Structure 1
Amino acid sequence: MRIILASNSPRRRELLAQMGVDFSIDVPDIDEHDASTPQDTVRALALQKARAVAARHAGERSVILSADTVVFAGEILGKPRDREDARRMLALLQGRWHEVYTGVCALHVPDGRHEVRVECTRVRFAPLTGEQIDRYIGTGEPMDKAGAYAIQGRAGMFVERIEGSSSNVVGLPMATVRELLMAFGVLL
């Protein structure tokens, strides 16, 4: 059975490749919007991404795998719009706990059977100065990341504690992906 990753994220590609899964990429084109809760947001967007890609592969026998990640710290934090938005997000996260939610969807083509799971990881950031935040933003790293940081990059030094899946914070909770793929008959 063919696996199609519905994502443009290099981090998700790397994580799926680490599992030894043979897959292709098909990037969905959807309008992203926030729902009322972070769980509802990632669940809805993961399913929307999978359905958008599945529509282009009708008649094939494949499993579409998609994901969406947001950070929650009293408000839903997606990718920053600009440097000022990144600064605002990092100032909000510094010195406190926040949650990272990832919705993962596996959708079987051609029958449309699907399952969506949501994973939550708690992360605590160290206190940061404005200068530290500005230096990090200057690297460009936070600009395409939910919550304006990459735990697998330079922002890893900001993390004091993590409770849950570290791969979830990167954008693809590997244990959840393994369970979903196996449930859809993919041999790992």
Structure 2
Amino acid sequence: MKLVLASQSPARLSVLRSAGIEPVVIVSGVDESRLDGLPPDELALQLAELKCAAVAGRDDVPEGALVVGCDSVLDLGGEALGKPEDAADAVRRWQAMRGRSGVLHTGHCLRDTATGHVAAAVGSTTVHFADVTDEEIAAYVATGEPLHVAGAFTVDGLGAAFITGIEGDHHNVVGLSLPLLRDLVAELGHAWPDLWSGRVADV
């Protein structure tokens, strides 16, 4: 069973590879700003559904593949925060986030191209941010890392030192929840081990 990842995120690709899955990567090209105004969890789910649908209908998708689309949004006091617009926006984000907690919502949408059936859900993980200094914020933003990720932080990169704890699935914060994806695969009638690449299955 082949899995198609409708995302250019290297973090999501790494999560799948670490779980024994070698997906085909096809970037959706969906405009993530088109659904502004929705609650954070609903925004994450709808963007995931749009990404999945945009890729599932393409001719270069392997026959019978499962297509997964994901999108992450940080809920900070009810405000939906995706990727920062620029460095100044990332600095403002961190000044608002430090010493506080937010909820990282990741929408997951899985489509079986053989049947057309779709399963979708949102994974939510609480993230506790350290009370970082202005100097630390400036240095972190200068690396460029927070400019490319939802919420302007990572839990698996340079930003990890600024996260004091999480409540929920770690991989959901990275951008793709493996337990949730497994549930969606089962909902569509497939077995998780069928997605493992050959070298893993042969071990």
C-alpha displacement at 1:186, in angstroms? Answer: 4.0
C-alpha displacement at 1:35, in angstroms? Answer: 4.4
2:198 aligns to what? none
CA–CA separation in structure 2 for the residues paired with 1:43 and 1:180: 14
C-alpha displacement at 1:90, in angstroms? Answer: 0.9
Q: Does 1:62 align with 2:103?
A: no
1:174 aligns to what? 178
2:118 aligns to what? 114
TM-score by length of 2: 0.88
- Does structure 2 retain, via aligned residues, the 8 Å contact 1:125–1:161? yes
C-alpha displacement at 1:179, in angstroms? Answer: 1.9
CA–CA separation in structure 2 for the residues paired with 1:26 and 1:164: 28
- Does structure 2 retain, via aligned residues, the 8 Å contact 1:59–1:110? no
Q: Which amino acid aligns with 1:68?
A: D
Q: Which amino acid aligns with 1:97?
A: S
Give CA deviations for 1:135-181 in whole Å, capped at 9, x if unaligned: 11111111101111111112111111211011111101111112222
CA–CA separation in structure 1 for the residues paired with 2:38 and 2:44: 11
2:199 aligns to what? none
Give CA deviations for 1:10-29 in whole Å, capped at 9, x if unaligned: 00000011111232111101
Query: How many residues are treated as equivalent by the alignment?
Result: 188
1:65-144 map, 5 Å: 65-74=68-77, 75-144=79-148
Aligned residues: CA RMSD:
1.5
SS at match of 1:99: strand
Cα distance 1:27–1:95, how it changes in 2: closer, same or farther (>3 A)?
same
Query: Mean Cα displacement is larger for which, 29-38 or 136-145?
Result: 29-38
List structure 1 segments (4+ residues) > 6 angstroms apart after TM superposition.
Answer: none
SS at match of 1:56: coil
Give CA deviations for 1:43-91 in whole Å, capped at 9, x if unaligned: 1011100100011047921110110001110211100110001011111
Residue from 142, 155, 160 that aligns with 1:156: 160
Query: Mean Cα displacement is larger for which, 5-14 or 147-156?
Result: 147-156
Identical counterparts, % of pairs? 36
TM-score by length of 1: 0.94
CA–CA separation in structure 1 for the residues paired with 2:86 and 2:126: 25
SS at match of 2:29: coil
Cα distance 1:165–1:59, how it changes in 2: closer, same or farther (>3 A)?
closer
